[in-house]
Amino acid sequence: MTVKIGLISDVHATAEPLQEALAIFRHAGVDSVLCAGDVAGYGDELEQTVALLLGDGCKVVLGNHDLWWSERPRHESQGRVADYLRSLPTVLEFSAAGKTICMVHASPLGYLMEGIRLLDDEGVVIPQQRASWSNSLQSFAADVLVVGHTHQVFAEQLGHPLVINPGSTRFNHTCAMLTLPELRLEFLPLSGRIPLLSWNWGMEGSKGG
């Protein structure tokens, strides 16, 4: 049985690219959508963003920006959005088409902050980083590990798992689709923009959204 999974991350309270990604997934007939956290932060459309994720039944894990937002004083963080962010798990694990999938925001070593940073500023894999993370994840049990946090776009076999970062819908202008059990992956551009494989704050002036 073939299973298609849509992958997004770091949507950062910006509705338009998220809406576009979800429309792509619906058109492709995905079975589920995974979001590797950071629903909040940077953008000012958090309520619309949460509504989109809920409307499409997306499975979402907690990101560091979500935690920071939910820890604001109670009078600043009440209502459906606050309840939603506080309900997010730090880890999601499930099986599909004979494969085991795990999703965290940053990495299994530090769910919210210690991200898997593999690429240099040009989007090229740094061999030392790949070797270090391959060693760290050698005995990791899941077949697929989905992460976000670093605003980098990659799919690399690191130790046992295939590690996928679909990139930020806001900053990298990307989403991805994973087909199981083949482990076939497709990265897709968003917002009519050229995907940025490695986004950093030096690009802030030209991110366009």
Query: Averaged over 17-32, what is the pLDDT?
Result: 98
**Average pLDDT over every residue of 186-207:** 81
- Distance, in Å, from the CA atom of 167 to the CA atom of 170, rounded to the nearest integer, reads 9
User: Cα dihedral angle (19, 24, 28, 32), rounded to 10 degrees?
Assistant: -40
Band (pLDDT 50/70/90 cuts) for residue 164 is: very high
Q: Which residues are 154's β-sheet partners?
A: 165
Residue 23 phi/psi, 5-degree rounding, is -65, -40
Q: Assess if CATH 3.60.21.10 describes domain 3-204.
A: yes
Cβ neighbours for 43, distance < 8 A, ≥ 6 positions apart: 12, 13, 14, 15, 49, 170
pTM: 0.94
What residues are paired with 3 via a beta bridge? 180
Which band of pLDDT confidence, cut at 50, 70 and 90, is reported for residue 173? very high
- DSSP H helical ranges for the chain: 15-28, 46-55, 64-70, 80-87, 127-136
Q: What confidence category does residue 75 fall into, taking pLDDT thresholds of 50, 70 and 90?
A: low
